Every structure is written in C-alpha cells, then in structure tokens.
Structure 1
Amino acid sequence: MPTAIATDSARLPSPQGWPLLRLGFRPFYLGAAAYGMLAIPLWIAVLLGQVSLNLTLSPVLWHAHEMLFGFAVAVIVGFLLTAGKAWTGLETPRGAVLAALAGLWLAARLAAVFAPYGVYALLDLLLLPLVAGIFIALLLRAGGGRNLPLGFILVLLTLANAVFHGAVSGLIDVDPVRALHAGLAMIVMIECVIAVRVIPAFTQSALPGMRLKVPPVLEQATLGTTAIALALWVLAPAHVFGAVALGAAALLHVLRLLRWKPLRTRSRPILWVLHLAYAWLPIGLALLALSQLGVVGVSSGIHALAVGATGGLILGMITRTARGHTGRPLQASRLETAAYLLVACAAVARVLLPLLAPQHLVIWLVAAATAWGFAFALYLMVFSPWLVTARLDGKDG
C-alpha cells in the first residue's frame, strides 16, 4: 500500500506558478465577489445623491451594464475556464495568459469611472470574444459538442455588449436598455443550461440513494420555451403573446424544479441555496409576463432574475466549486450559510417588498444593497485565503 500511494503521488503533476493563476475560477471569483460587494452599495449611494462618480454614461446604464457584463460575466468566465478543463481534459489559460484576461476585466471596470468612454468601451469589448474563442476552440479540439451551445451563447452575449456600446456611442440607433435586456436574457439562458447539469448532479452526489430524472421532453420544452419567451421580451413590443410565452416558461421551470425535489435539500445549505436561487427564475419570468400586460413594472421581473436567480446561483456556485477545486469538503460553513440567507433577503427586499409597500422603496433599496454587500463580504472573508493559496490535497489547479 505505501508503495502504491507513493507511485500514484509521483504521477500527479507538480503544481506550478502562483496559486491565484493556476485555474480560471481563482482570479475571476475573487474579482467578482469584491466587485459585487462594492458596486451595489456604491450604486445606491449614487442613486440617493450621497456619492458622485465621474461616469461617461448615465449612472443607471452603468449600474445595469456593470452588474451584467462586469460582475456576472466574471463569474461565467471563471466557471467556464475551470469547467472547460474538467469537461475536455485539456489545459485552459493559466499563468500569464490568465493574468492578462483577469487584468483586462479589471481594467475595464476601472475605465468605466476613470477613463474616457471610448477607452472603457474598447477594454470592455475585448474580454468576451477572447474567452468565447478560447472556450469554443477547446471544445472543438476535444470533440465536446454537447457544450458548444454555451459557446454560442457567449457569442450572443458578446454581440449584446457590442450593441450596447454602439448604442451609447450613437453608432447604432438602438435603445441601449434593450441591449442590456438581451444581455440579461443570455445570462439567464446560460443559467438554464448549466443548472440542469449541476443542480441534479450535486443533489444526487450529496444525498445517497436519490435518483433525479427529468423527462427529455420537459428539458427540451423548458429550454426552447424560455429562449422564445426571452427573445420576444427583448425584440418585440409588449404584447399578450409575449406574456403567454413568459408565463409558459415560468410554469415549465416550476415543473423542472419540482423534479429535483428541492425540499429534500433543506438540511444541506450548499444544496438548498441552488434550489432556492433557481426558484427565482420562474418568479422572474412570471413577473415579466405580468409586466407585458401592464400589471407590474418591468423592474420587478428584471431584479428577480438578476438578484434572486443570478445572484443566488452565483453565490451558490462560487462557494461549491471553489471548495471542490481547492480540495476542501463540500459542506457550507455558518458564514457561507449566512451569506446565502443575505442574498435571499436582498432579493426579497429588492423585488417583493416594493410590490407590497412601494411607498418605502428607498428603505427597501438600502436594505437590499446592505444585505447583498455583506453577503459577498462574507464570501471574501472565507474564500480569499483559499483562492490565493495552493489546494489542500497538493494537486495542481
């Protein structure tokens, strides 16, 4: 036995380079969490007139764009550059190349405040096509056609970002808000594709004996209907057809979630956070359906998808995957559980409470921003030391 263990250890590649730059999740999760912690409280301070930023575009557009193409995209890039290695067995960017990609992301965030708009737009437009090219080339080399739709969505996300900057610059006669809606729609589709692969798998691996199976026809109907509904929301004027499509997509997501048996995960925070966050997808789609009929404002549906679904799924994924890829137990600590609850409270304060008591909107906004900021502060407290140091098990990555 000692000889076999020594032989197996000798076969493992020795870790090389600074740990922070060994795998994509490390710098991008760290940057996204820090940006999420700072950007939302800063936005509320700007909105309430407490802080003034030297922005070259309107504060509302800056806030919406940066939470999509700054915060959320950083997590998507970190996840795909990490998962791509696991899916294909091929190396993904590390070392100097990974540092350049992370540096480009950071430079764009800083340029939004400290540089002319043209510089900001140029820096911001470079990252996504580079990552899309790297990811698609990786899949093609490995014959990983199953994951190519994610590469296609990255291309569409790149196009939405280009349309946004073109519209703001006056080069394209399009409302930049519509481009932001398209960006949110692409991010939601990425969540829909990844969720069906990871949430049931994580649930089954953590709960022995559980077998989760969703009929393929339900999966195809859910993804197809969601794509059509979001396309109608982005590209067509508000209409009853759009409301029906969004409502149908919401119902299908409820059926999909029920197949995953979310109540069975209530004793495992690292699992229930993903199920709870996913539940905001049908809520957001249903609110968008109601907004098509003029029942509620579109902001409610947008923030249900952005804060509840995207924020919750991001926090759940960057804890679970970071634990796994740093060689730590897949068991959330009390601080991580507190962070999960804080993001859930932020979603309730930003989406549901304004619908119930709109006269207290400022209070709800401040409460949501505070809960969100503390959630990602807790993540940084726990994970920052882990993301900049080597894996516990001595493996590379």
Structure 2
Amino acid sequence: MAPFTAVKRAQPPAAQEGPGFALWQLGFRPFYLLASAFAALSIGLWAMQFAGWLPGAYLQGPLWHAHEMLFGFALAVIVGFLFTAGRNWSGQPTPVGLPLAALAALWVAGRVLVLTPFAWTAAVVNAAFPLACAVALAIPLVTARNRRNYFFIGLLLVLSGAAFAFHLSALGVVQTPTWIGIQLALDVLLFTMAVMGGRVIPMFTNNGISGANATRHPLIEKVALGSLIALPISDAMGLPSLVVAAIAVPAALVHVVRWLLWQPWKTLNNTLVLVLHLAYAWIPVHLALRVLALHGWVSPSLATHALTVGAAGGLIIGMMVRTARGHTARILRADQVDTACFVLVLLAALVRIFVPLVAPSQTLAAVLVSGAFWTLGFGLYALRYWAVLTRPRLDGKPG
C-alpha cells in the first residue's frame, strides 16, 4: 500500500449520528472548527496581500501575520487539545457549554480587534484569552493534583505574557523590539510540540502498528527537550551566533535520533500515524535551517516556516483529524478526504521552504502556491468536519 493510501470503512451498524447540536460539549469541537476555518481564510488573505492583489491591507505586516498564526490559529488548536486531554488527565470536567462558548467568543474578538483601531482593547483581549484558558485548565488539573501536566498551565501563561508584550511594543509603550513576543511564542510552540510529540507519536505508533516497537530513551528525551530550553535562553541573553549554533546543531541531531527511535519507516501503511512522523521530521529541519540563517546563508524566514508550516501545520492537521475521530467514536483510520488534507498541508510546507531555498527569485510564486495548498487543506478540513464537530458522538456518550 502506498504511503498516503487511505482505507475507507463503513461505520458499524449500531453507530448512528444522533440529533442535536454538540459544538459546546468539549473543547476540541469549537476550537478545531474555528482554527481550521481561520487558517484557511487568514493565509488566503495574507498571500493575496503579499502579492499586492488586495485593494487594502488585511494585516499591517509580517509580524502581525505571525501574531495571527501563533496567537490565533496555533493557540486555538492548543487550547482545544488541552481542554480535551485535560479532562482525561484529571478525570475532572473542563469548560463546556456557556463557559466554553464564552472562551471561543473571546478568541473571535481577538481576531476581529487586531483589524480595528482599538489597539488597547486588542492587546487586553489577546492577552486575556490564554490567561483565561490557563485558569480554566488549572482548575481540573490542580483539583486532581495532576502535577505532571502543570507545566501546560505555565505555557499558557507565558503565551499570555508574550501576546501582551507584542502589543505593548506595537503601541510604543515599551521599547523592546516587537519581534521578541513572536520569538517567545515560537519557542513555546516548538517546546510544546516536542513534549506532546514525544508523548503521543510513539504511543500512537505502537497502538496502531503491530510490532512497531517505537521507543523512548530517557537520556535522548532529556537532551532533546533540554536543548529546546537552552535555545530561547541563549536568544534572550543575546549570546553570539556561534554559541547558539553550538546548541542548535546537537539539538537537530538528537531530534533526528529521537525520531528514528519511533520507527517512522514502519508507519507507511498507516496514514493517520505517518502524518505525525512526517510533521515531526520538520523540527530538525527547522533547527538546521536556523543554524544556516545565523550565518546568513539562508533567510531566517525559511527556518520559521519549517517550524510553523511544516512541523506545526503537519502535527495540527494530523492531531485534529485523529482526536476529532477518536472523541466522536469514529474509526481511527484516515479516509480519502483526511488524506487529501494531509497531502495539501505537506505540499504547502515543501513549496514554502524548498522553492525559495533553491530559487530565491521564485519566493513570491512559492508563497502563493504554498498559501493555496494550505488554504485548501484546512478549508477542506473545516468543511469535512463541520458535521462531525457539531453533532453528538456516534456512541451516544458525552463529549
């Protein structure tokens, strides 16, 4: 079977979609739907603005594009995942119903306000969203004394601070460069993906593929995650590029070793697992490109997009499909539409990074083509999963 071949199965006869509107029954439902629709719309508009095809400006520049992808798109997915997983980790309820709808409305308000002259209101709302989500996640985790996952509360608090720092800089209230808030959010995103990837990818590999024997080596785990803590510290201290490279090169190598221990070559016949392995492989690519960018050999934008389009985009589309299927009692097998979403997002990453790398003069064309692939991939997910995310579970259970 080819790597991206999907197997389509009928649902069991007893599995019937029940009546009712289930969007507010668990965190992944509204935030996956909002994030996928926003990803398609925002990147489509940004690509047209980049090409000069919009009569006006959608966003005020590349930093605001980064802001919306990090504090809008990626953060929505992270929150949806944490609210869903947090219930399983703690055995305690996470926001549902009206509180969940209120948090979703706060997120939407942040996306709208950045397009208006109400800059202070936008700053407060965009900092308040991850802060409110941190509190909402802390309640079940602390109640259950689930200390292993307390650090996710801290990550949301850091993202709240990063968002506020970005806005304060943009407002001229503080003199720090605006990009510092973006870099901090990128560092948090990278660390979050490394932590969650290390937890779920080998587990999903072993659960989905008989005899896969995906393993985690304690020393490799410590070095892999430790290196991703050392990098932002070196950035914050303004250490010379040679020192940063001395951290990033071993970090890239150890993440390759970590990935190989998960037996990625054994996943070729399981698309739902393969997509996660392919996405994680972009992390060492990002680190390698970052080293090259430090020496001026490639544009720093390529390293950033290897992380955001390649690693984050791939992991997000893979996890959104898997968790949406699993938490609505559907078969954990990618169908043809799911596979198309995976391929489109992967193509978006390949075009966005490697075309400008080998032919810098074609950067505009790469942005447009990559943007089209990305918009189609996430737009297709939103259309495909609207019915899944808004209807009750097939087995009639809550969630």
1:48 to 45, 51, 54: 51
Give yes or no for the alignment of 1:36 onto 2:39.
yes
What CA deviation, in whole Å up to 9, does each residue of 1:154-186 have, x standing for no partner?
A: 221221111111111111111111210111110
Partner of 1:7: none
1:389 to 374, 388, 391: 391
Q: Which moved more, 1:59-68 or 1:31-40?
A: 59-68
Matching residue's letter, 1:71 = F
Contact persistence 2:19–2:391 (CA under 8 A)? no
CA distance, structure 2, for counterparts of residue 93 and residue 53 of structure 1: 38
CA distance change for structure 1 residues 303 and 344 in 2, over 3 Å: closer, same or farther? same
**Percent same amino acid among aligned pairs?**
39
Partner of 1:10: none
Please give the root-mean-square deviation of Cα atoms over the aligned residues, in Å.
1.6
Matching residue's letter, 2:313 = G
Partner of 2:263: 261
Partner of 1:270: 272
TM superposition shift of 1:17: 8.2
Partner of 1:4: none
SS in 1 for 2:101: helix
Contact persistence 2:127–2:161 (CA under 8 A)? no
CA distance, structure 1, for counterparts of residue 57 and residue 227 of structure 2: 41
Give yes or no for the alignment of 1:24 onto 2:27.
yes
Matching residue's letter, 1:272 = L
CA distance, structure 1, for counterparts of residue 186 and residue 343 of structure 2: 23
What CA deviation, in whole Å up to 9, does each residue of 1:306-340 have, x standing for no partner?
A: 10000110000000001000110000011111111
TM superposition shift of 1:194: 0.7
CA distance, structure 2, for counterparts of residue 227 and residue 384 of structure 1: 37
Contact persistence 1:54–1:114 (CA under 8 A)? no
Partner of 1:284: 286
Partner of 1:73: 75
TM superposition shift of 1:114: 3.6
Contact persistence 2:212–2:266 (CA under 8 A)? no
1:203 to 199, 202, 205: 205
TM superposition shift of 1:349: 0.9
Partner of 1:3: none
Matching residue's letter, 1:83 = A
Partner of 1:369: 371
SS in 1 for 2:173: coil
TM superposition shift of 1:214: 1.5
TM superposition shift of 1:238: 5.0
Partner of 1:83: 85
Structure with the bigger RCO (C-alpha within 8 Å, sep 6+) is 2
CA distance, structure 1, for counterparts of residue 236 and residue 351 of structure 2: 26
Contact persistence 2:32–2:320 (CA under 8 A)? yes
Contact persistence 2:128–2:160 (CA under 8 A)? no
Contact persistence 1:243–1:293 (CA under 8 A)? no
SS in 2 for 1:391: coil
CA distance change for structure 1 residues 349 and 27 in 2, over 3 Å: closer, same or farther? same
CA distance change for structure 1 residues 136 and 230 in 2, over 3 Å: closer, same or farther? same
Contact persistence 1:36–1:373 (CA under 8 A)? yes
1:171 to 170, 173, 182: 173
Q: Which has the higher helix share?
A: 1
Contact persistence 2:124–2:164 (CA under 8 A)? no
Contact persistence 1:202–1:271 (CA under 8 A)? yes
Matching residue's letter, 2:217 = P
TM superposition shift of 1:230: 3.2
SS in 1 for 2:301: helix
* 1:214-253 map, 5 Å: 214-233=216-235, 235-236=237-238, 238-253=240-255
What CA deviation, in whole Å up to 9, does each residue of 1:49-97 have, x standing for no partner?
A: 2114566x72222211000000000000000000000111100000000
SS in 2 for 1:393: coil
Partner of 1:341: 343
What CA deviation, in whole Å up to 9, does each residue of 1:344-394 have, x standing for no partner?
A: 111111111101011111111111000000001221222111100000010
Listed as ranges, the gaps of 5+ residues in structure 1 are: 1-14
SS in 2 for 1:20: coil
Matching residue's letter, 2:29 = R
Matching residue's letter, 2:256 = V
Contact persistence 1:349–1:368 (CA under 8 A)? yes
CA distance, structure 2, for counterparts of residue 157 and residue 45 of structure 1: 28
Matching residue's letter, 1:341 = V
SS in 2 for 1:329: coil
Partner of 2:331: 329
SS in 2 for 1:21: coil
Partner of 1:8: none
Matching residue's letter, 1:105 = W
CA distance, structure 1, for counterparts of residue 93 and residue 130 of structure 2: 19
Partner of 1:312: 314
* 1:133-212 map, 5 Å: 133-212=135-214
Contact persistence 1:68–1:183 (CA under 8 A)? yes
Contact persistence 2:19–2:392 (CA under 8 A)? no
Contact persistence 2:20–2:392 (CA under 8 A)? no
